[in-house]
Amino acid sequence: MAAGCRFVAGYPITPSTEVVERISKRFPVMGGTFIQMEDELASMAAVVGAAWTGTKVMTVTSGPGFSLMMENIGLGAMMETPCVVVNVQRGGPSTGLPTMVGQADMMQARWGSHGDYRLIAIAPQSPQEAFDLTIDAFNLSETYRVPVMFMMDECVGHMTEKVVIPPADEIEIVPRVLTDKKPGEYLPYATNGWPVPENVRAGDGYRFHTTGLTHDEKGYPVMSAEVQEINVNRIIDKITDNADKIIRIEEEQIDDAEVVVVAYGITARVARMGIDLARAKGVKVGFMRLVVVWPFPEARIAELAERVKGFVVPEINLGQMVLEVERCAAGKATTTLVGHAGGGVHDPQTICDAIVEAAR
């Protein structure tokens, strides 16, 4: 609401239902629209359509619903539709552990739909960040005209902590960038020095076409390898070429570290306890928290791999983001997964043991 979202379509699913319950009560009194759709396929379709009215839009789900949304998330990527998709992760696969924590949708957030594209994904570690980073998610979606995945987990989603909501005039909001071209001059997928096209609102007098098919600057389908090359490379390049602006990490005691722990979400909080235990044993260990997980901080991991012995990656899955750390380390430092299949958080001692072993 603070980010300017005024349309949400969703379908109840544990452990995310409280989000849409709250929205369903607040939106009617503040000029917003909430629709409970018949399923998650329809929810994502409604969100993609609503965005073209000029409205900021969002949907909310968990693992099984996230899977059902993937086709239309790919549609949103191809049509360059700004939107936010909140996934409060739970244990899987399939129905899995509906009421218990997991972090096993991280690769799905990056690769879940078919074809080549790039999205942005964010992982909060606290209720305060659930507020602050949701605003950032909307801002990024508007800046790059792309679906942004907001990868919460059940623990953060159900956590109760103090949240400071600043005055509205102190919250930085990126508005929808609408073209100043006249109808007849506007091309919905034309760019001019910036790889992101300008928007128009349906109903403002512009006649435009948008489709999930490979398309030209007019938005019309063109079935050729040449146009595919231009089309797909641009929707990738607008993210990869601006990755340094999008990537966000937090680092602690990295300068003299022999081992670096890489974590995100609720596991980042638990990892700090394991780090404290390892430091008490005299291990020089640093910490990197992934705030933005996609794009991944490839260059920073590669840089650290030149001078540390190893990376330790605790996550509530059996190996997802650890694969990116290992790839970027390129054999120059060891990479150790501290996996957990879901249903609970790590024992900090397990993380400590992995740190001590990596430092040997």
Per-residue pLDDT tens digits for 44-89? 999 999 999 999 999 999 999 999 999 999 999 999 999 999 999 9
Phi-psi region of 254 (alpha: psi -120 to 50; beta: other; left: phi over 0): alpha
Mean pLDDT of 296-317: 98
Task: Return the pLDDT at 238.
Answer: 97
Distance CA(70)–CA(59), nearest Å, equals 12
pLDDT at 336: 98
pLDDT of 208 > 90? The answer is no
Average pLDDT value for residue range 93-121 = 97
| Residue 76 pLDDT | 98
How much of the chain, in percent, has pLDDT values that exceed 70? Answer: 100
| 349 to 271, 318, 338: CA distances (angstroms) | 9, 18, 11
Q: Span 244-263, mean pLDDT?
A: 98
**Cα–chain center distance at 100:** 20
Q: Residue 348 and residue 286: Cα distance in Å, rounded?
A: 15
Q: Which domains does the chain have, with CATH numbers?
A: 1-246 (3.40.50.970), 250-359 (3.40.50.920)
Quote the CA–CA distance of 67 and 151 in Å, as a whole number: 14
What confidence category does residue 207 fall into, taking pLDDT thresholds of 50, 70 and 90? confident
Measure the CA–CA gap between 138 and 195, rounded to whole angstroms: 18
pLDDT, tens digit, for every residue of 138-184? 999 999 999 999 999 999 999 999 999 999 999 999 999 899 999 98
